[in-house]
Amino acid sequence: MKTLIKTEELAMFLLSIFLFSFLEYEWWVYLVWILVPDIGMIGYAMNARVGAMSYNLFHHKGIAIIIGILGMRLGLQDLQLAGVILFGHASMDRILGYGLKFSEGFKHTHLGKL
C-alpha cells in the first residue's frame, strides 16, 4: 500500500510541475519556493498542538487547490503560484513519508509514525 500511495503522490507532484509550466515564472522560482511551506513547522516552537495545526495548514492539499483556483478565477499569478507550490510541496513531503500531523507530536502523522 505504501508504494501505491507514494506513486500517487509522485503523480501529483509531477502535476504541480506541469501546472507551474503554465505560469509566467522562471523555473528557478519553483525550486526556491518549493521548501517554503515548511515554515509551518515554526508552530512546534510553541507546542505540539499549535505545531500540528500550523504544519497542517501549510500542507493541506484542499487549501492548496482552493488558493490555486482562486488565483485562476481572479487572474492572479501569485495566488496560482502559491497554490501550485503548496500542492507540490505536500505531495513531495508525502512521498518522503511526512503526512499531516496529529497533536501528539511531529512524528505522529496520518501516514503512520515516522
- Starting at the edge strand found earlier in the chain, the sheet holding 101-102 runs 101-102, 105-109, 112-113
pLDDT, one tens digit per residue, over 37-84 is 999 999 989 999 999 999 999 999 999 999 999 999 999 999 999 999
Entry pTM: 0.90
Q: Residues of 25-61 as b/e, b for ≥16 C-beta within 10 angstroms?
A: beeeebeebbeebeebeebbeeebeebbebbbebbbb
pLDDT, one tens digit per residue, over 78-93 is 999 999 999 999 999 9
Q: In the structure grid, which three cell numbers stand for residue 66, read together?
A: 482552493
Alpha-helical (H) ranges within 1-114 are 2-20, 27-33, 48-58, 61-74, 77-95
What is the rounded average pLDDT of the residues 23-50? 95
Q: What is the pLDDT of residue 58?
A: 95
